[in-house]
Amino acid sequence: MSLDKVLSIGGKPGLYKLVTQTRTGFVAESLLDKKRITVGMRSNVSVLSEIAIYTLEEELPLREVFQRIQVKEKGGKTSIGHKEEKIKLEEYFFEVLPNYDEDRVYASDIKKVIQWYNILHDNGITDFSAKDDGASEEE
């Protein structure tokens, strides 16, 4: 499954997989507990493939940040949890992305990136390469 089908829904914990569209929104399945929910068009929904992290030079797509974490962790889960102290989170993120914009990337953003990476890892979604051509081995 590519990041094009993975969603973050405002007010809901974790990540969701897009299942199908409906007339009034869509159906999503939680990657944490596999429960399905219906989401209306008014909900604040972000597709992971469209999210970027501010650096001092540019905005870096989230998939590239995930790739850097994957390289740092040698394909495993992160060495720190998303509930660590702010200073530890910032130190970790600085190792992954030394040029991130500290004024525009908050500790809460770093927590989400770490939590999302671990959720994706737990669900076997570890191919963060550039857009695939629609063919995926897990669909």
Domain limits for position 89: 51-122
Q: What's the CATH code of the domain at 96?
A: 1.10.10.1650
Task: State whether 59 and 84 are in the same domain.
Answer: yes
* Number of domains present in the structure of the chain: 2
Task: State whether 18 and 37 are in the same domain.
Answer: yes
- 82 lies in a domain? yes
Residue numbers of the chain with a pLDDT score lower than 50 = 132-139
Pair of tokens at residue 20: 């199908």
CA distances from 61 to 70, 77, 85, 87, 111 (A): 15, 20, 25, 23, 17
Task: State whether 43 and 71 are in the same domain.
Answer: no
Task: State whether 59 and 115 are in the same domain.
Answer: yes
The pLDDT of residue 137 is 39
The pLDDT of residue 131 is 59
